[in-house]
Amino acid sequence: MNAPWLQLFLLAAVGAATEWATLKALLRARPPALLARNYRGAEVVSRGGVILAAPLIVAALLAWLLQSRLGFEGEALFAVVAATALYGALGWLDDARGTTGVRGLKGHFTRLLRNRVVTTGLVKAVGGAVVGLWAAYMLSAQGWAILVGGAAIALSANTVNALDVRPGRAAKLYLAASIVLVAFAWATPVPAPLIVMAALLGAMLAFAPADLRERIMLGDTGANPLGAVLGMSVVAVTHWPCWLALAAALLAFSLAADRWSLTEAIERTRWLRWLDQLGRPRPPT
Q: How does pLDDT run across 127-149, given as a tens digit for each residue?
A: 999 999 999 999 887 889 999 99
Distance CA 119, CA 94 (A): 9
Task: Please indicate, yes or no, if residue 133 is contained in any of the structural domains.
Answer: yes
What is the average pLDDT across 241-247? 95
Please write the tens of the pLDDT for every residue from 175-217: 999 988 877 766 667 788 998 999 999 999 999 999 999 999 9
Can you give the residue range of the structural domain that contains 256? 4-277
Torsion-angle region of 167 (φ positive above 0: left; ψ -120 to 50: alpha; else: beta) = beta
Residue (of 239, 12, 271, 256) closest to 145 by Cα position: 239
Task: Please indicate, yes or no, if residue 284 is contained in any of the structural domains.
Answer: no
Task: Please indicate, yes or no, if residue 220 is contained in any of the structural domains.
Answer: yes
For the chain, the residue count is 285
What is the average pLDDT across 104-133? 78
Distance CA 68, CA 189 (A): 9
Q: Quick one: pLDDT at residue 1?
A: 44
What is the average pLDDT across 269-274? 90
The whole-model pTM stands at 0.91
Of 59 and 25, more confident: 25
Task: Please indicate, yes or no, if residue 283 is contained in any of the structural domains.
Answer: no
8 Å CB contact between 203 and 170: no
Q: Quick one: pLDDT at residue 103?
A: 62
What is the average pLDDT across 144-173? 94
Structurally, the chain folds into a number of domains equal to 1
238 has a pLDDT exceeding 80: yes
- C-alpha distances in angstroms, 99 versus 103, 117, 118, 193, 206? 10, 10, 9, 31, 31
Of 257 and 169, more confident: 169
8 Å CB contact between 178 and 145: no
Task: Please indicate, yes or no, if residue 47 is contained in any of the structural domains.
Answer: yes
Task: Please indicate, yes or no, if residue 282 is contained in any of the structural domains.
Answer: no
Task: Please indicate, yes or no, if residue 216 is contained in any of the structural domains.
Answer: yes
Chain centroid offset of residue 23 CA: 17
Which helix (H) or strand (E) segment holds residue 35: the answer is: strand 35-37
pLDDT band at 105 (very low <50, low <70, confident <90, very high): low
Please write the tens of the pLDDT for every residue from 79-94: 999 999 999 999 999 8
What is the average pLDDT across 220-244? 94
Task: Please indicate, yes or no, if residue 174 is contained in any of the structural domains.
Answer: yes
